[in-house]
Amino acid sequence: MIEILYNILFDYTLRTVALGAGVLGIVSGILGSYAVLRKQSLLGDTISHAALPGIALAFLFTGSKSVLLILTGAALAGWVATLLMISIIRTTRIKEDSALGLVLSVFFGFGLVLLTYIQKLPNATQAGLEKFLFGQAATLLAEDVLVMAILSLVILALVLLFWKEFKLLSFDEDFGATVGFPMRSIDILLTSLLVVAIVIGLQTVGVVLMSAMIVAPAAAARQWTNRLGIMIALSALFGAIAGIGGAIISSLTSKLPTGPTIVLCISAIVLLSLFLAPARGLVWQWIQQSRNRHNFHLDAVLLDLYALAQQHRDRLHGHHAAVLKTMNLKQSAVNRCLRELKTQGLVRQISRDLWGLTEAGLQQAESLANTQGGAA
């Protein structure tokens, strides 16, 4: 443990990679929240694949491998792909899913053509573009991380500046347009930020897995809260944990690629959230369901007793548990339910097998019978 801490602080590679992955996790967590809320989870997949030809073209035209330049190329390609996709959806009857897949695969294919073309150029400096395919976090340099961090700060500032507008866009675009916000421009701004966020992560996790970094932190955060601010903060936190955690785990084990490890980390967080998140999580749902079922049994027994009581002059007269058992679908639970009703003060045990309603029980049963349309 101390050794890990020591390494993070003093090992150049690990520190750089962990920082880079952390920054990437934060940015993709923030922008991913909007993407997931706006039902654009797979847009990230398309943008990241579509960035490939941009990377290759940036290199082809400038011959430089400067990170900023290549990221600009990637962002431009991702942006063009998004616009093309939107125009296909708007102007033809091709649906969103087809447009996404079409743009994704064609751009990626074209990117491959360019990459293989570059590889065959008689130019020694070309190697290294492949790292964008699967990501090679180990090749991150301190200045790369600096570029990533500055871009992230810009994104963060813009998100805070346009907080209200982006919120409106995510939840009620039509209302926003009605009260006079330029929703089209806001949409373009947010999508552009998403493109930049994706491009930031390409070098670390690669085009194929970047989509997971957009969807997963946001999907996990969504389970814990219904408030946008908290969701975005949580999403950024999850992204950062997965990024840094994945970087550390992969550095501790030999031959464990960073990108996939980060993706598995964030997926584990998603799984945990799906099960454990309060109110929405599956475990909580199960508990709630079994509690409902139990209450339903209690009510059923109480109502049965009430039905019996109505046939008797003395409403509080005792009846046999055996009779109640014949009336109830789940016979084994009757005794248990009676005992619990007794602790609630709704029934009283007259003798070993004889049970009757109390005054409180009678009132409760009457109101139940009324609300349930006289189930007895």
Partner 1 sequence: MTTPQLEIQLIAAVVAVACALPGVFLILRRMAMMSDAISHAILFGIVLAFFITEDITSPLLILGAALTGVLTVSLVEALHSTRLVREDAAIGLVFPVLFSIGVILISRYAGNVHLDTDAVLLGELAFAPFDRLYIGNYDIGPKSLYVMSAILLLNIVLIALFYKELKLASFDVGLSAALGFSPMLLHYGLMTQVSLTAVGAFDAVGSILVVALMIAPPATAYLLTSRLSLMLIFSSMIGIVSAISGYWLAHLLDVNIAGAMATMTGVIFVMTYLLAPRRGLIAVGRRKIRQRWQFAQRMLVVHLLHHLGLPEESQECHTGTVHQHLKWEKKFAGKVARMAEKEGLIFQKDGLLRLTDKGLETAQQAMM
Is 45 a residue that touches partner 1 (CB under 8 A)?
yes
The site for partner 1, by CB under 8 A, has a size of 63
Among 41, 139, 328, 335, binds partner 1 (CB under 8 A): 41
- Binding segment (CB under 8 A) for partner 1, from list 87-95, 139-147, 184-192, 308-316: 87-95
In the list 83, 113, 279, 360, the residue contacting partner 1 (rule: CB under 8 A) is: 113
Q: Rule CB under 8 A: is residue 115 a binding residue for partner 1?
A: yes
42 binds partner 1 (CB under 8 A): yes
| CA end-to-end span of the chain | 65
Residue number with CB closer to partner 1 (46 or 364): 46
Q: Is 280 in the site for partner 1 (CB under 8 A)?
A: yes
Q: Which of 259, 318, 356, 361 binds partner 1 (CB under 8 A)?
A: 259
Burial class of residue 192 in the structure, from the number of CB atoms within 10 Å of its CB (0-12 exposed, 13-18 middle, 19+ buried): middle
Beta carbon nearer to partner 1, 17 or 115: 115
Question: Of the candidates 6, 61, 117, 171, which one interacts with partner 1 according to CB under 8 A?
Answer: 117
How many residues are present in the chain?
376
Q: Which of residues 186-215 bind partner 1 (CB under 8 A)?
A: 208-209, 211-212, 214-215
Q: Is 91 in the site for partner 1 (CB under 8 A)?
A: yes
CB 170 within 8 A of CB 159: no
Closest distance of CB 181 from partner 1, Å: 25
Report, in Å, the least distance between residue 81 CB and partner 1. Answer: 11
| Rounded Cα gap, residues 329 and 305, in angstroms | 14
Indicate which single residue of 64, 105, 292, 367 sits in contact with partner 1 (rule: CB under 8 A): 105
* Closest CB 351 distance from partner 1, rounded Å: 48
50 burial (CB, 10 Å; 0-12 / 13-18 / 19+) is: buried
Shortest reach from residue 347's CB to partner 1, in Å: 38
Q: Rule CB under 8 A: is residue 348 a binding residue for partner 1? A: no
CB-count burial class (<10 Å; 0-12, 13-18, 19+) for 77: buried
User: Could you say whether residue 131 binds partner 1 (CB under 8 A)?
Assistant: no
Q: Distance between CA atoms of 59 and 126, rounded to whole angstroms? A: 8
Q: Is 18 among the residues that bind partner 1 (CB under 8 A)?
A: no
Beta pairing partners, 357: 347
Binding mask 281-320 for partner 1 (x = CB under 8 A): xx--------------------------------------
| Span near partner 1 by CB under 8 A; candidates 62-70, 98-106, 155-163, 178-186 | 98-106
CA–CA dist 86, 43 (Å, integer): 11
* The only residue of 22, 260, 318, 356 in contact with partner 1, by rule CB under 8 A: 260
Minimal distance, residue 345 CB to partner 1, in Å: 38
Residues near partner 1 (CB under 8 A): 36, 39-42, 44-45, 49, 88, 91-102, 104-117, 120, 130, 133-134, 208-209, 211-212, 214-216, 219, 222-223, 255-257, 259-261, 263-264, 267, 270, 274, 280-282
